[in-house]
């Protein structure tokens, strides 16, 4: 039986291969300009990383639908699991099944990054693209150059989503990088419902305060660096947002 760690390594290798293929097809993520978000982008802001089975990109809405072009770029590599186009928002999920029970997915969000509710909408603007920076991130021990959001925008995306995996990422980000002074102001310019930041941060702080959080964080990042003292420092910084 294939072990969990081996499956995650296989996913890493394949996601790395697909990202390199996309880079080649888009002139280094310039045409169209695509910004890596989600769990893989975390590696641009901290030396700690976690395994994830999916990969996420955000891109701006233009006159035509860019996700149509991306679908063609990946037609020989992956199949389409979800495809949606609205006035201001497009979504494409491509998946690949390989080896027994091993799956990866790559999501593309055009115009807006949306969460699980109608309140969770981050607008992909010119400013977002301009502030994005190109960095090397390591996937399966290989450095790959991608665009990632600037730190403020990335933290806003995480705070907006606030899933359990995001909360562990938020704790790591705030521990290593703090809370940007311009976060609330920037949220008003990027989110359709900026009040969600304060509301979610209260929930996030409650989750981090839970006595089980420390074990959950350590299980995700496989290190004991994060301590009770660290947790209290993170909570103190987060409380500035509510």
Domain end among 125, 149, 173 = 149
Confidence band of 52 (pLDDT split at 50, 70, 90): confident
Number of domains in the chain: 2
Residues 144-183 pLDDT 10s: 999 999 999 999 999 999 999 999 999 999 999 999 999 9
Q: CA–CA separation, 200 vs 159, rounded Å? A: 7
* pLDDT for residue 59: 97
Q: What is the pLDDT of residues 129-144, one digit of tens each?
A: 999 999 999 998 899 9
Beta bridge partners of 91: 84, 109
What is residue 228's predicted lDDT score, i.e. its pLDDT?
A: 96
Q: Are 124 and 154 in contact (CB under 8 A)?
A: no
At 8 the pLDDT is: 84
Residues 6+ apart with CB under 8 A from 32: 26, 59, 60, 62, 66, 69, 70
67 vs 99: CA distance, rounded Å: 27
4 and 111 belong to one structural domain: yes
Mark whether 182 and 78 lie in a shared domain. Answer: no
Of 149, 184, 217, the one marking the end of a domain is: 149
% the chain with pLDDT above 90: 86
Structural domain span for residue 9? 1-149
Using the Cα atoms of residue 188, residue 193, residue 195 and residue 201 in order, give the sign of their dihedral: negative
Same-domain pairing of 69 and 144: yes
Q: Is the pLDDT of residue 99 over 80?
A: no
Residue 59: closest CA among 51, 46, 68: 68
Average pLDDT, the chain: 94
Where does the pLDDT of residue 237 fall: very low under 50, low under 70, confident under 90, or very high at 90 and above?
Answer: very high
What is the tens place of the pLDDT at every residue in 173-201? 999 999 999 999 999 999 999 999 999 99
pLDDT greater than 60 at residue 48: yes
Residues 144 and 100 in one domain: yes
The pLDDT assigned to 2 comes to 53
Per-residue pLDDT for 1 more than 50?
A: no
The residue from 149, 182, 212 where one domain ends is 149
The DSSP string of 71-93 is HHHTTTT-EEEEEEE-SS-EEEE
Within this chain, do residues 1 and 98 fall inside the same structural domain, yes or no?
Answer: yes
Number of residues in the chain: 242
Co-location of 97 and 184 in the same domain: no
Is the pLDDT confidence value at 3 over 90? no
Closest CA to 187 of 199, 175, 169: 199
């Amino acid at each position: 039986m294939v072990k969990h760690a081996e499956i995650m390594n296989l996913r890493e290798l394949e996601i790395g291969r697909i990202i390199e293929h996309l880079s080649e097809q888009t002139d280094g993520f310039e045409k169209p300009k695509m910004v890596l978000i989600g769990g893989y982008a975390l590696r641009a802001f901290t030396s700690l990383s976690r395994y994830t089975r999916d990969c996420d990109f955000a891109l701006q809405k233009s006159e035509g639908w860019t996700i149509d072009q991306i679908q063609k770029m990946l037609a020989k590599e992956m199949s389409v699991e979800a495809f949606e186009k609205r006035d201001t928002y497009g979504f494409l999920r491509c998946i690949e099944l390989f080896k027994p029970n091993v799956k990866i997915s790559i999501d593309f969000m055009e115009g807006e990054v949306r969460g699980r509710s109608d309140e969770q909408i981050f607008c992909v603007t010119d400013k977002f693209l301009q502030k994005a920076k190109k960095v090397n991130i390591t996937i399966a021990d290989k450095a790959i150059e991608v665009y990632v959001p600037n730190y403020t925008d990335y933290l806003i995306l995480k705070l907006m989503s606030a899933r359990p995996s995001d909360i562990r990422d938020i704790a790591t980000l705030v521990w290593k990088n703090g809370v940007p002074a311009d976060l609330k102001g920037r949220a008003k310019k990027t989110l359709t419902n900026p009040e969600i930041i304060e509301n979610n941060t209260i929930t996030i702080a409650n989750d981090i305060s839970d006595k089980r959080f420390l074990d959950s964080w350590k299980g995700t990042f496989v290190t004991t660096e994060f301590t009770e003292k660290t947790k209290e420092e993170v909570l103190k910084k987060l409380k500035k947002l509510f």
